[in-house]
Structures are given as structure tokens and as C-alpha cells.
Chains A and B, each alone.
Chain A
Amino acid sequence: MTSPAAIVGVGATPYYFRGTSLPQTVYELIGKAVLMGVEDAGLGVDDVDGLTFFAYGFDTATIVEMLGMPQVTFAHVVGGYGAGMAGVLDLAAMAIETGRAKTVVCIGAGQQSANRYGQALGRLPSTPDNIFHQIAGLGGPGQAMALLTQRHMHKFGTRREAFGEIVIASRAAAFNRETAIRRKHLTMDDYMASPMLADPMCRLDFCLETDGALAFVVTSAERARDLKQKPVYISATAQVANRDWGRGFFWLGQSDEAFTSAGAAGVAERLRQTSGYDPKDIDVACIYDHFSPMVLMQLEDYGFCKKGEGGPFVQSGAIKLDGSIPINPHGGHLSEGYVTGMTHMREAVEQLRGQAVNQIAGAKRALVTGGPAPHPLTAAVLSNEP
């Protein structure tokens, strides 16, 4: 099956430590990313006729006004907070395939000066459903995911050393990456000495809070061949919402099996059904790493190892740059920066163009995953082969 659409341009602002992108507004950041993206593609803003977003998105009219887009004929949002991230490519490919738009820009951005994601749960107005989280004192996503992590350790014997291995690998990858915010070398002793924020998760298990914007230009595979950059084809995409996970850690009523997962089993299965996804075919995996234990659980959900064996798998060194499945060669959210997954999409594109800072030799296929969060959860497989 050939891919109908390809990523032909990438734009990204610098990654700013939380709050330091001021006095720019988030729309200014978005504008800069879009302009860089279309220039990277060798196109102009006038060519853009589609916009896709996730996590409740941004205001289409504001962007169209600000940048003077003459006619946008497709503007859609995937829900699911960071879970919907990879779904922007699903929408873009759909727009191209159905002819609803010819040049789609997928946008993701964050600015945490006023609203820290780490305190997102505590800010929600009280409802009959979330009152229980308030009674418990669960103010942030990481605190709620610690409950999943604790049970994973209880059920499968997973050790903190495994989470440490994920953080250390992330930091090792970020070491030579200039865009990365945390680049200092880490040892397991450093990891174990990090203060506990939500037992069993320590400060180093929590990702960065970052300001920034990224934009990805998508067009037809046919047109992509005549443009400036080596095309990165959208080989497969999936969006899945199911009751097994539902609102996930915003609920904590997942099925017993899903409780100790990243909620991605359904997405992996959907990729298998629609595109013959096989983890053995993936050369590099850009795994949404807002919290290191959720990387381990995604490795299980996406079939890189068996359920419950994520601990021994990462402790074997499999996820390092020279391992059997290199994870996040850009340092990911844990070390590079956190713009709700879009930085992972950028890394996948750079890997498949052969331009990555930590290039995986011969990389042909990359998996990009949306973040464990309320469904729909999304994922995409990108390739430099049509």
C-alpha cells in the first residue's frame, strides 16, 4: 500500500524553559513555526489550505488573520490532550486523500507561563466526577500516573532502576543536541538521589515544562517528490478511544489490565489491522515521554516487548542509541523539551531525512506515539519509502 501523503516541511521555534518565551504570545510562536515550515518545504503561506490541531487546538480564524491565509478549506482538531498528537497527521492525510485540501499545516504549541501542565488536574473546576481526585490530593498528571506505576511494579516486579535507565538514555541522547534543555550526564546514583515527587516517581521521572511551537507541512506524496526536501511519507496512522482506558488517569477506573498500561494497546492493534504494523519493522521509536514509567508501558503496548517485561527490556540496553530499538535519539520530553509530542515528530522527520543529530544508520521507519492521557490515543508510522 502506498502512502497518499508526506511531510515536506518542518518549522520549530526555539524550545524555551517554562515561561521564558514571553513577551511573545503563543500565536506569535505558532506564526513563526508556520513560516519556517512552509519555507522549509519551499512553499508559501498562500499555498496553505488546511490546518490540523490536537488537544483542543488553537483558533483557526486568529491564525488565518494573523498570517493572511487566503482560503483554508479544512480545519480540524483531534481531542485527547497530548494523546491526540500523532492524530494531526491522520487528519492531514485524510484531507489530502479526499481532496479537501492540498497543503495542510499541522500545528502544536505550548506556553506554560500562566498554566503549568504539571498542575493541570488541580485547576479543573470541581465536578461530581473529579471530586475524588481532589479529595485524594492528585493535582497533576504525574501524581496520578504514579498510581499506575506503583501497581505495575507490584504486579510485574518492575524496578525503579528501569525508569532510571530510560532517563539516563534520554540524557545521553540529549548530550550533543543543542536544542536540548537538560544535557548534563547522569548516573544511576544521580537518579536514585533525585527527590521523590510522587512515590515511586522522582523528579527526574517528570518531563520538562517548555514553551515553543512546531508546524509540519503535509501534501500529497506525488507533489512531495517535486519539492525541496526528501519526503517523509505518512505510512500509517491510528486514532482509538475505548472504555478500557477512557479518561485514563483522570478516571482511574480502567480495566485491571489497562491500569498497568499506557492505554495504547488499542492503537497498536488498530495499526496492525490497518497497515500490518510490526514492531520489528520500526528502526527508531519516538515515544511520548512525559513520565518515564509511561515509556516502559508504551514499549509493552506497542509490542517491543511482552506485557510486564518492560523493566528487563529497558535494563538490557535495548532502547539506547546503539540498542535494538533506539528510543528518542533527540532526548525527548525528559531532556530536550516538552511541546506535547511535536518535538518527537520533528525528530522522526530528521531521522528519515538522514539529518538527525544522533542519526540511526539506515533508518527507514519511525514510530511516533501520542501521549498516554484521556483518549483518543493516536500514533503514526513514518517512512522515507513511499
Chain B
Amino acid sequence: MTYPNGARSFTPDFAQLIVAMDQWSEPYWQAVGEHRLQFPRCGKCGTFRWPAGPFCYKCRSQEVEWVTAGQARIYSYTVLPVMGPDKDAPPQWRVPVVVEFDGIPDVRLVSVLVGAPLDALAIGDMLEPEWLAAENATVPGFRLAEEKA
């Protein structure tokens, strides 16, 4: 798909977003508030699970330890045209992205890619987090780690 020359994805405004969390996901959101990404691993058998939840799906233990994520990469993505109130105006582009991390096998974070050049995206591209403010929490978005020439 060819997008308008130089088109980039926009940064959504999450100021009104209320992030729903529970006792299992709260440590994730607390770490994000400190600009760190960490994911839950079973305290008994070491299997990662995501989203954070009450049981290990392999050994059914409820013990959890949190592990800091390594390098982020695009596992998959899509590009959505977002129309504003003026239907004749050109769309903005939103890029939902599925992110995988070094050292965190089988976990994929569903997030949003901001400021991304639409014509130069590829699965496997390295990402870095972009910390965005929501009403009651910080939300991790991502941007390309280094843009291709």
C-alpha cells in the first residue's frame, strides 16, 4: 500500500482514557508509571503469561515474578485511516501494533505505534517505548527505534 508522501501515524490523545486494572495487572501499570516495561512470569515453573492473570496456564500456580523486557520489535501491525468530523478532510493514520520483546518469550503487547512513517514499516523493526499520559496511568506507546533511510 502506498500512503501519501511522508505520511506518519498520529499520537492518540489518552487524556480521557481510564485504564482498567486489577490486582494482577497493577504491577505492570506501576512499572509503566516509572517508565519501565515488565511482564509476569510464573514463580514456580517460569512460564510467561499475558495478560497478567491469576493462574499459570502450564502449572496452574498463582505465584508471579516480574521480569524487565528487553528490546521491543514489531510482531505485526496494521494501518487504519481515522476520519475526523470533516468527512472531506484527509484521514489521520493510526497504527495498532503487536510488540514482542527479547527475553519475554510468548508474550505480545498490543499497543499503538506513533510518529511512524507508513511506507517504511516492516515486521521485525526495532521499537522504543513512548510514554503517554492517560487519566489514571501512563500508557506505553511505541515509536521506531531508528528510522530507515
Contact = CB atoms under 8 A, between A and B. Distances in A.
Interface of A: 126-129, 131-138, 143-144, 146-148, 150-151, 154, 195-201, 243, 252-253, 255-256, 259
A320 B97 CA distance: 34
A74 B62 CA distance: 39
Given A147-B96, A196-B1, A200-B1, A132 B51 contact: yes
Nearest to A132: B110
Contacts of A132: 51, 109-111
B34 to A, nearest CB: 18
Contacts of A146: 78
Contacts of A201: 78
Contacts of A134: 17
B46 interface: no
B108 A253 contact: yes
26 contacts: A128-B20, A128-B51, A129-B51, A132-B51, A132-B110, A133-B110, A135-B12, A135-B17, A135-B139, A136-B97, A137-B12, A137-B94, A137-B96, A137-B112, A138-B96, A143-B96, A150-B76, A151-B75, A196-B1, A197-B80, A197-B81, A252-B108, A252-B110, A253-B108, A255-B106, A259-B76
Contacts of B80: 137, 143, 197-199
Interface of B: 1, 12, 14, 17-22, 24-25, 50-52, 57, 75-82, 94, 96-98, 106-112, 122-123, 139, 141
A199 to B, nearest CB: 4
Nearest to B122: A154
Contacts of B57: 243
B21 A135 contact: no
A120 B59 CA distance: 34
A252 B98 contact: yes
Contact of A128 (B14, B22, B141): B22
A305 B21 CA distance: 43
Going nearest first, the 8 A-B pairs with the smallest beta carbon separation are A136-B96, A146-B78, A199-B79, A132-B110, A151-B76, A126-B20, A147-B76, A137-B94
B123 A150 contact: yes
Given A150-B76, A196-B81, A198-B79, A136 B20 contact: no
Nearest to A134: B17
B12 A128 contact: no
B1 A199 contact: yes
| Among B12, B51, B94, B97, residue most surrounded by chain A Cβ atoms (within 10 Å) | B51
A199 B111 CA distance: 16
B20 A127 contact: yes
A173 to B, nearest CB: 27
Contacts of B110: 132-133, 135-136, 138, 252
